[in-house]
Structures are given as C-alpha cells and as structure tokens.
Amino acid sequence: MSSSHDLIIIGAGSVGVPAAVTFAGQGLKVLVLESLPSPGQGENKKAIGGIRATHSERSKISVCQRSIEIFSTWQETTGDDIHWRTNGYSFPAWTRSTEAALKRLMKVQQSFGLNIGWLGPEEYRELNPGIRMEGLRGSTYSPEDGSASPLLFIESAFSKARRAGAEFRFNETVTGLETDGRRITAVRTARGRYPAGWVLNAAGSLAREAAALAGLKVPVQPDCHEAAVTEPVATLMGPMVVDVRSRPGSANFYFYQAPGGQVIFCLTVDPPILGTDTRATSSFLPMIAKRAGEVMPLLANLKIRRTWRGQYPMTPDGFPIVGPVREVDNFFLAVGMCGQGFMLGPGLAEYLFRLITAVPAPGDETVAASFDPYRPFEGKEAFK
C-alpha cells in the first residue's frame, strides 16, 4: 500500500495488541494509537483471567478454541510465562431447572466439538472439595478451559508486536478521521496525522466514541462489574466456578483460584450500573461474602486484599460486533466484547487478519454472520 501504515488500530487492549501481533507478524506496517499511557490499561488489566470456549454459539466457541490453543502454547513459542493453567470451567446446578438448561446447552456445545461433560455431585466434589453439597445436582465441566494472567499476557504480546515491527503511540487520543469519498485517508490525534490503509476500531469501552468519528453509531454500552482478590492460601479448588443463580443485587457470581493461591471473584451487578466510572466500592463485598459462603463455605474466612471495578462493553445480544462497515470502505469494527475480550483476543486477531486481507478460512462465514455489525441483535447468549 502507498499509505504510511497498512493498518492503524485504535486501542491497545485485549483485541488491539493481539491484532498488532498478528498483522505485524505477517509483515504489514502497523500503528496502534492508545489514549492511555501503556498497553492494557483499559479493561484488560481489570479482567480476572478466565479463558473458556464453553459458549452457547458456534462462532464464539471456534474463536475461543483458537485462543486457547494460542494461550496454552504461548510460553513454548515465546519463552514468556503468562501463568497459563488448564484448570477448567464448571457450572454447578442446585435446581432442576438449572440442571436441565445446562444439560440442553451441553448437548449443543458437544455438537460443536467441545470437550464438556456432566459430573454428578460426588464426582464434582472431587474437583472442588469445599463445594456446598446440600441440594447440589451436579455440574458441567470443561477440562480444556483455563486461565492466565491478563497483565503478563498483554506485556508479552506488546513486546512480541514491537519485535515484529508494530509501532505504538501512547497518550494519543484519536480526535478525527480524514476521509476522501468512502475511504479514511488518515487518522488524527492532538499530536499528529497518520495516513492509513485500513483502520480498526478496537477501542473497548470507548468504541462508540471512536465509531462516531466516522459518523457511525454502534450499540455498545459499558456496564460495571466488581471484582476482588484474596490473600494467597493453600490449594482449595480446581476449576472456575460459575454460579448462574440470580440473587438480590447480583445476576451471577464466579470465582477461581490463581496459581499463586489467591481466590479471584467477580460479580455481575443487577440492575446494571451503566457507564465508565472506574471507582471501586465496597458495597458489593457483603454480596460476595454471602454468595461465596453459599457456594463454598470454606471461603467465608478468607481476607480480601484488593477490590476493583471494570467495564463490560455490552451489546444488546451479548455477542461481539466484528466486521467491515457499509458506510466506509476501509473501516472495521472489533468492539462490544461483552467482558470477554481477553479470552477472545488472540483467536479474534487471526480472524480479523483473514477478514481484512480477504483470505477467509473454513468457518469464517459463520463467525461473520454471528458478529455482523448489521445483525438484528434479537438473540441472547445463554449463561453469559
């Protein structure tokens, strides 16, 4: 291309940095513009680290399966330890209705090639010895899912992208897009003007603002989630536990034990707290304490070391918005990750490369339809 950069990425987060790795690794000239001081300082550093392919729809399953392949071999291929651990995911059920719904979804997931099964109460207790057995009907278990450190991964991926030739400019908020007819010709910030071949909006919670620079409206609305980490303790549990039951003040609750021994919790606030306010509160801690004791009583006396608040850039149906826009020929969206940007990022980066360079692979048409920016947004992901 005759432009100074083949691809300009808006956002150095869970999607933008892996995309830089992939595109620069293929010899393209990449520039990443980020308003914050360093990579992963938006929602990436607030992720708790869970990585799963156990979704309810083929597109997210396939993208995350590829992500898991990348995460699980990252240390082998780069030499960097990102604390990858294949600890699995579990969705326990304490009611007949939840059990039935999980088993229906499990059959769909198995039809897509996922390694997932149903464990009875005693089998599940072997994985999570402290689980509350009263009323427990069993749990799904997907042993190939896992976890990694978002901080270690983003730093390693950033270094890999730079070694491949990607350029990063921090503390540069994108302020405008110059156009000529149906094409963006350059991206502007307060510090400079950067000619562009393609432009990718991977701006996370600021996706709407970035899209608006091209005169577009994208249905992405951030909402707030609260998280906490405990003191390190001896090994208490195996897989991630996702309690899908709603309780006053919370829609669901999930937690796992990190390799260092800390237990990391996250709670989905209900009703949602919309916006990008990052100030953490302690008002959710009584909810976490109650829910943790309800699911695994031996967690009740753990000491909380730190709390934080992050945003899930949500879409109306819970699926990402990824693809080209109709109004501008060289502008692409990779937004609305719905709190799953970390687990989607590496696999999605490869899909974006195939999409933007027009070299599709088998199955990409399914992903394109599911993530289509112009879909009706009528469905809803099960057990989000």
* Mean pLDDT for the stretch of residues 259-276: 92
Once rounded to an integer, what is the mean pLDDT over residues 72-94? 97
Query: Within this chain, do residues 139 and 154 fall inside the same structural domain, yes or no?
Result: no
State the DSSP H helix or E strand holding residue 93, giving kind and residue range, or none if neither: strand 89-93
**Together in a domain, 238 and 300:** yes
The answer to whether residue 296 is domain-embedded is yes
How much is the pLDDT for 1? 39
Same-domain status, 310 and 227: yes
Q: Is there a domain that residue 94 lies in?
A: yes
64 and 19 inside one domain: yes
Q: Is 353 helix (H, G, I), strand (E, B) or coil?
A: helix
Q: What pLDDT digit, counting tens, does each position of 40-54 carry?
A: 999 999 999 999 999
Instruction: Kindly tell me if the per-residue pLDDT of 303 is higher than 60.
Output: yes
The tens digit of pLDDT for each residue in 97-106 reads 999 999 999 9
Tell me, what DSSP letter sits at residue 132?
A: -
Residue 289 is predicted with a pLDDT of: 87
User: How many other C-beta atoms are found inside a 10 Å radius of the C-beta of residue 252?
Assistant: 18
**Residue scoring higher pLDDT (378 or 96):** 96
CATH at 352: 3.50.50.60
Q: Does residue 307 sit in the same domain as residue 175?
A: no
Pick the closest to residue 241 from 302, 305, 294 (CA basis).
294
pLDDT confidence of residue 3: 58
pTM of the model: 0.95
Tens of pLDDT, residue by residue over 149-183, are: 999 999 999 999 999 999 999 999 999 999 999 99
CA-to-CA distance for 323 and 271, rounded, in angstroms? 30
Residue 235: which domain range? 88-144+222-314
Write the CATH number for 269. 3.30.9.10
Report, as an integer, the average pLDDT of 66-71: 98
Q: What pLDDT score was predicted for residue 285?
A: 87
Cis peptide leading into 271, omega within 30 of 0?
yes
Q: Are residues 113 and 160 in the same domain?
A: no
**382 within domain boundaries:** no
Tokens representing residue 200 in the block: 């990718």
Residues 310 and 328 in one domain: no
Tell me the mean pLDDT in the region 52-68: 96
**265-272 contacts at long range (C-beta below 8 A, 24 or more positions apart):** 265/48, 265/227, 265/228, 265/229, 265/230, 265/292, 266/48, 266/225, 266/226, 266/227, 267/225, 267/226, 267/227, 267/291, 268/225, 269/223, 269/224, 269/225, 269/226, 270/246, 272/223, 272/224, 272/314
Q: What is the mean pLDDT of residues 108-113?
A: 94
Other C-beta atoms within 10 Å of 102: how many?
Answer: 22
Q: What angle do CA 127, 147, 59 make, to 5 degrees?
A: 105
Q: Are 237 and 257 within 8 A, CB to CB?
A: yes
Question: pLDDT-derived band of residue 382, with 50, 70 and 90 as boundaries?
Answer: confident
- Closest by CA to 201, choosing from 6, 8, 5, 4, is 8
Rounded to the nearest integer, the mean pLDDT of the chain is: 95
- Tell me how many domains the chain contains: 2
301 and 227, same domain (yes or no) = yes
Q: What is the pLDDT of residues 232-250, one digit of tens each?
A: 999 999 999 999 999 999 9
Question: According to the model, what pLDDT value does residue 2 have?
Answer: 43
